[in-house]
Chains A and B, each alone.
Chain A
Amino acid sequence: MLSVIGSTTQLILSSLGQFSLFSWQMVRWLLPGLVQWRMWSRAMPLFYEVGNRTLPVIVITGTFVGLVLAVQSYDQLRAAGFEQRMGVLLTITLVQELGPVLAGVMLAGRVGGALTAELGTMNVTEQISALSVMGADPIRHLVVPRFLACLLLAPLLTFFCDLFGSLAGWFVAVVLKGIPSGPYWWYIDDAIATWDVGVGFVKSLVFGGLIGLVACYKGFHCRAGAEGVGRACTESFVASFILILMTDFFLGTFLSGVYRGLYGFKALV
């Protein structure tokens, strides 16, 4: 029993150490790469790939989550007489929580898995070793552009998730339930502050970066063969998903504390 606990702890610590080292190497190449045209020229096609692959799923997910939230919350808010403020509840949930998390999960599933599969295949077919032998650092050439694409596109995708979710909520509230459009938007404008949008932005940046790093790390460290690549893809998604949820909690708690320290309690109704 003790030996099992010992070996599991050792495995976890060693994986954490490897991941930290991998992340550090990425950061070392990222900072000088930010001012190099070559780096951006490598990242541009990936921006298109990441955005193009994920946007349709994000739009569908955001729309249906907005619809469901609106339908579920309408009766309760109406019973309390707050139905005109439905947009506030919906938008703040989307902007601060659901938008970044859903966009992150979709990004992890749609792009993270594909990045792991691509790099994993390059790994098992020795293409990554070939880069090293030629003196081209694989982290600089493969990881940094992919990390940048995930990091910078996650906020943009989150924006689309928020936008379509809010529009879907408006559709349920105004078109289906007959709430006047003017007060619906007025309450949203009154309640949602720059801070709320900033929280969603920070979260999406962190999620995007984590997804990019985890996907590349899993691809670089996958085992040989088709099974190894398949397993790495699954592990990549599961790890990203768990990290998104955990980070969301800790980041949310931290940012709420900062807000309370700066501005005090904020009432939505």
Chain B
Amino acid sequence: MNEVTLAPNRPPSPGGALVRLVDVHKRFDDLVVLDGVDLALVEGQTTVIIGESGAGKSVILKHIVRLLRPDSGEIYFRDLRIDELSERRLAPIRPQFGFLFQLSALFDSMTVGDNVAFPLRIHTRRTRREIEAIVRQKLTMVGLDGIQGKWPAELSGGQKKRVALARSIALDPELILYDEPTTGLDPPRADEINELILKLQRELKVTSVVVTHDMASARKVADRILMIHRGKFIFDGTSASIRETKDPRVRCFVEGRCSEDVLRSLQIEGKA
């Protein structure tokens, strides 16, 4: 069991980068997914990564939390190189990461309360009352206090996402990663999630990475937008600058209208 402090004193990181990926390569069989990715996540910022399906967005998130290891390259959390750490040495660092999965990933066999309490039971020695109080506080933050006794199967898609978000912030992480947070939700529910991302950013001062292909969501929450294409970043800018970019591949994605030339080139690259 790894005892962690719930309100850590966070030292300033060198260069303001909380996480750095250096020349990261990853392939699955013959498919190159990441082709020399370099990325520095600035502390306190919300970075949105956009790109087509299969472009490698979620793979980047999974590298940051070490669900995947790179074939080559380096990954740092503050000054610590985490891609080489053993699971045992990584364990004390894991509570610094919160991860909202695309499918929410709530544990079916546990109630909502137990789901949110789970990381607290694993990583702290708090009493049951203290844990209950934290669970209530986190569920209140996502607007769902009072449903501790419900089962995940009884919740709507939007509620599941919010409970999963409450679980991911249970240990007050420094970094929250959102994998397609609005996918599968209707526009009002999607906007609720966007508002929550902004609220957590404001109140907890966390660093966030959002992977999405929902441009409305990206524009709303992003301090910085990156676009990944065929394993490499082809755009790095702000919500304002992405509208002005001349790159036809980025314009195609952002506007949702692609010229025949761009479509043809994408198909050719895809086949290659």
Which residues from chain A sit less than 8 Å from chain B, CB to CB? 121-122, 125-127, 129-130, 132-137
**Residues of A with C-beta under 8 A to B105:** 125-127, 129-130
B2 CB contact (under 8 Å) in A127, A130, A135 = A135
Closest to B123 in A: A135
Which 3 residue pairs spanning A and B have beta carbons closest together?
A135-B94, A130-B105, A126-B105
**Residues of A with C-beta under 8 A to B67:** 129, 132-133
Across the A-B interface, how many residue pairs have beta carbons closer than 8 Å?
46
Q: Contact at B65–A126, with CB atoms within 8 Å? A: no
Q: How far, in Å, is B238 (CB) from chain A's closest CB?
A: 29
Closest to B92 in A: A135
**Residues of B with C-beta under 8 A to A125:** 103, 105, 108
Q: Contact at B97–A133, with CB atoms within 8 Å? A: yes
* Count class of interface residues, chain B: 20 to 34
Give the docked Cα–Cα distance between A132 and B94 (Å).
Answer: 9
Q: Is B95 an interface residue (CB 8 A)?
A: yes
**Residues of A with C-beta under 8 A to B97:** 133
Q: How far, in Å, is B56 (CB) from chain A's closest CB?
A: 17
Give the docked Cα–Cα distance between A137 and B2 (Å).
Answer: 13
A133 CB contact (under 8 Å) in B2, B94, B107 = B94
Q: Contact at B103–A126, with CB atoms within 8 Å? A: yes
Q: Contact at A133–B99, with CB atoms within 8 Å? A: yes
Q: Contact at A134–B91, with CB atoms within 8 Å? A: no
Q: B residues 97-138 with Cβ under 8 Å of A? A: 97, 99, 101-103, 105-108, 118-119, 122-123
Q: How far, in Å, is B57 (CB) from chain A's closest CB?
A: 15
Q: How far, in Å, is A197 (CB) from chain B's closest CB?
A: 37
Q: How far, in Å, is B217 (CB) from chain A's closest CB?
A: 20
Q: How far, in Å, is B13 (CB) from chain A's closest CB?
A: 21
**Residues of B with C-beta under 8 A to A122:** 107-108
Give the docked Cα–Cα distance between A53 and B191 (Å).
Answer: 45
Q: Contact at B87–A137, with CB atoms within 8 Å? A: yes
Give the docked Cα–Cα distance between A125 and B102 (Å).
Answer: 9
Q: How far, in Å, is B147 (CB) from chain A's closest CB?
A: 19
20 of the cross-chain contacts (CB-CB < 8 Å) are A126-B102, A126-B105, A130-B99, A130-B101, A130-B105, A130-B107, A132-B67, A133-B67, A133-B94, A133-B99, A134-B94, A134-B118, A134-B119, A135-B91, A135-B94, A135-B95, A135-B122, A135-B123, A136-B119, A136-B122
Q: How far, in Å, is B116 (CB) from chain A's closest CB?
A: 11
Give the docked Cα–Cα distance between A137 and B90 (Å).
Answer: 12
- Most B CB within 10 A of own CB, among A126, A130, A136: A130
Q: How far, in Å, is A170 (CB) from chain B's closest CB?
A: 43
**Residues of A with C-beta under 8 A to B87:** 137
**Residues of B with C-beta under 8 A to A121:** 108
Q: B residues 53-96 with Cβ under 8 Å of A? A: 62, 65, 67, 87, 90-91, 94-95
Q: How far, in Å, is A222 (CB) from chain B's closest CB?
A: 15
B65 CB contact (under 8 Å) in A127, A133, A136, A137 = A133
**Residues of B with C-beta under 8 A to A137:** 87
Q: Contact at B108–A127, with CB atoms within 8 Å? A: yes
Q: Contact at A134–B122, with CB atoms within 8 Å? A: yes
Give the docked Cα–Cα distance between A132 and B122 (Å).
Answer: 12
